[in-house]
Chain A
């Protein structure tokens, strides 16, 4: 009968205690615990959520985000009485910076672009509006409007190449608009008109995840993939959620928090390009609208609360390998 050495060309070390600093891929037999063990490479699957820096101003969950974990923007929020409505994060603390010209909530953003060159797109102020503003790192300037007034949609991309889709105009919309750095153009619709969906990706390769749409149940697990030309239905998320958040790219995306009846959820799902996997939960269940942010699935941040709050949470994939028991 073939033995392990005959197949693999080496034997598995038989040791009485685990090695001190095993490397990823190392396997050994622990004779004391009578278990076969191995070292697993660090990665997204071992990630966790920790407390992030507190916002300067408590906000309702309705602002937009952009940037990366160590250089992020949280933009506007409630349209009424908004003051000091933009904050910038440096990885440790939030600082109030220049206000947008027209405060509004449920807006979209160029969520995967840099914080210092962000588009702040449409939203509710209180009804759906078409305004767009661009941040240059110092101040906000009005740029060309979107074609259709909308709020509660999703946005990806950068200030020079953005995509916004879904939301509510007078009713749930499937409309998708593409920004080329100067103007907005209507392109192919989503297959399912919906609002409060999550997103990740870039202008040319994007995902729209979950959201609300007419019919029962109202909250959907639907996922659509954008290839630069059209939307295609792809593998549904494990949990139907709306008002969740997203970050990453179409081969490595996160979908976290949100509303999942009967209330808010703390769940995190990871898309690896072909399937969804449940990862570690947020510490606090909560929902956000239009809070998609960042092109990274290994490090992101979300202000996430069920009522006005200053708290945030940061996701980081593990950089530490883990020992697992094989058998």
Chain B
């Protein structure tokens, strides 16, 4: 599957609808990064949310930066606080 990448701020209700979730792949990531299925429905959605296009590398860098910040915040917690927060954030690759 081919993807497009953008950043967009989730404004809440109807930012993405049930119908849009059926029409194209959509996955949100840290840093307001969105991975969007590359079809005309996905293009329409990027226009609707005024998405700012990114390359895959640019999108990955944003997500990595957010996760690194979350890791730093997690590491600063006490052991008790870490236990109640769940797992330490882990970096991963965007599709």
Residues of A within 8 A of B (CB): 48-54, 60, 62, 92-93, 105-106, 124, 126-127, 151-152, 168, 196, 242-243, 259, 261-263, 266, 280-281, 283-285, 287, 289, 306-307, 310-312, 316, 318
Contact = CB atoms under 8 A, between A and B. Distances in A.
Given A51-B13, A310-B12, 18 more contacts: A48-B18, A48-B21, A50-B21, A53-B12, A60-B85, A242-B86, A243-B86, A262-B90, A262-B92, A263-B92, A281-B27, A283-B21, A285-B27, A287-B86, A306-B89, A307-B30, A312-B12, A318-B18
Contacts of B81: 126
Nearest to B87: A259
A257 B55 CA distance: 27
Interface in B57-88: 66, 70, 80-81, 83-87
A49 B10 CA distance: 14
Contacts of A306: 30, 70, 89
B28 interface: yes
Contact of A50 (B14, B84, B86): B14
Given A50-B17, A196-B86, A262-B92, A284 B27 contact: yes
Most buried by A among B20, B81, B86: B86
A20 to B, nearest CB: 19
Interface of B: 10-18, 20-22, 26-30, 66, 70, 80-81, 83-87, 89-90, 92
A151 B27 contact: no
Given A48-B21, A280-B21, A283-B21, A54 B87 contact: no
